[in-house]
Amino acid sequence: MDNRPIGFFDSGLGGLTSIPYLRKELPRERVIYFGDTARTPYGSKAVTTIRRFSSEIAGFLVKRNVKMIVIACNTVSATCIPQLRKKFPDIPILGIISPAAQEAARLCRPEDRLGIIGTKVTIASHAYRDFIRLSQSEAKIFETACPAFVPLIEEGIIDNEIMDMTIRHYMDDFVRENDLNRIILGCTHYPLIKKNLQRIYPDLEIINPSSIVINRVKETLEAEDMLADDPEYTDVFYASDLSENFVQMIDHIFEGSEVKKVEFKNFDLEEELGHVY
């Protein structure tokens, strides 16, 4: 048993899309979430920059005594895991890509045509494709980056025509020309536009890593005997820019799921790290 919180982080609010699944599967667990809203998006930045940012955030979570770190960001999972595990060897660090790729490989039949959408960095890494191949899947795999999705989602531009047009811009030809029947949401922001995608491409089956990673969290905590048994929790959500959007998104994402106590805190980059960006 271990009642310490689980640390989740993302470049912004995307990683929040995993939290309702955590609540459902593991209602006694507490969360410390960090969204790097001041420096988002990560998905078009240099890998060295993403490594620096993610190592700062992991250090911040370790200082707050989390029992595990969940990288609720595909871009960081694709590029930073070996370095983070080396720097913080005493704490389990879970990425989102490997559990989702294994689940996709399990679901896909050889005749399936699977699309992967994500940020530029995630797509350039081919991490999903490589992990799926490692699991011996014979499905045909196609990948494309959709770099404008994250800034629009961070702005809350979701239920409207601009988002639908942007989706069509990146995806109409991709889906049609490759005759896709399944798609992986290879960025944790994308579950926030899942309804748009389902409406625009009703025949596509959507695989959502934000939910799949929670099964891996559960397995790991059970295997290590680290489950919490404290029903009285307060989740803490840190943001490097505690904007109105971030707070509103919590309501949007947790709609219908029970959030008991939530505290919001601004993370002051200068105070914490001794420098500003």
Q: Is 108 a catalytic residue?
A: no
Residue whose CB is nearest to ligand DGL in the complex, by number = 43
Listed in sequence order, the residues at least 6 apart from 221 whose beta carbon sits closer than 8 Å to its beta carbon are 2, 26, 29, 68, 227
Q: Candidates 37-45, 99-107, 157-165, 258-266 — which segment interacts with ligand DGL by CB under 6 A?
A: 37-45
Listed in sequence order, the residues at least 6 apart from 155 whose beta carbon sits closer than 8 Å to its beta carbon are 245
Q: Which of positions 169-228 make contact with ligand DGL (CB under 6 A)? A: 187-189
- The two three-digit tokens of residue 198, written as one number: 């389902």
d(CA 137, CA 145): 22
Residue 53 CB, shortest distance to ligand DGL, in Å, is: 10
Q: Residues, the chain, total?
A: 277
Beta bridge partners of 86: none
Which residue from 73, 123, 132, 141 is in contact with ligand DGL, where contact means CB under 6 A? 73
Listed in sequence order, the residues at least 6 apart from 56 whose beta carbon sits closer than 8 Å to its beta carbon are 273
Q: What share of the chain is helix, strand, coil (3-state, %, to 5)?
A: 45, 15, 35
Burial class of residue 245 (count of CB atoms within 10 Å of its CB; 0-12, 13-18, 19+): middle
Q: Is 10 in the site for ligand DGL (CB under 6 A)?
A: yes
Burial class of residue 220 (count of CB atoms within 10 Å of its CB; 0-12, 13-18, 19+): middle
Listed in sequence order, the residues at least 6 apart from 212 whose beta carbon sits closer than 8 Å to its beta carbon are 96, 99, 100, 103
Residue 170 CB, shortest distance to ligand DGL, in Å, is: 14
Contact map string, positions 136 to 165, toward ligand DGL, x by CB under 6 A = --------------x---------------
Q: Is 54 in the site for ligand DGL (CB under 6 A)?
A: no
Nearer to ligand DGL, 61 or 150 (CB): 150
CB atoms within 10 A of CB 275: 7
- The two three-digit tokens of residue 254, written as one number: 């947790």
Residue 210 CB, shortest distance to ligand DGL, in Å, is: 9
Residue 91 CB, shortest distance to ligand DGL, in Å, is: 21
Beta bridge partners of 18: none
d(CA 128, CA 143): 9
Which residue from 9, 33, 42, 60 is in contact with ligand DGL, where contact means CB under 6 A? 42
Q: Is 73 a catalytic residue?
A: yes
Q: Is 75 in the site for ligand DGL (CB under 6 A)?
A: yes
Residue 44 CB, shortest distance to ligand DGL, in Å, is: 7
Q: Is 98 in the site for ligand DGL (CB under 6 A)?
A: no
Nearer to ligand DGL, 13 or 139 (CB): 13
Residue 222 CB, shortest distance to ligand DGL, in Å, is: 25
Nearer to ligand DGL, 103 or 228 (CB): 103
Which residue from 5, 7, 8, 11 is in contact with ligand DGL, where contact means CB under 6 A? 11
Catalytic residue ranges? 73, 187
Interface contacts to ligand DGL, rule CB under 6 A: 10-12, 14, 40-43, 73-75, 119, 122, 150, 187-189
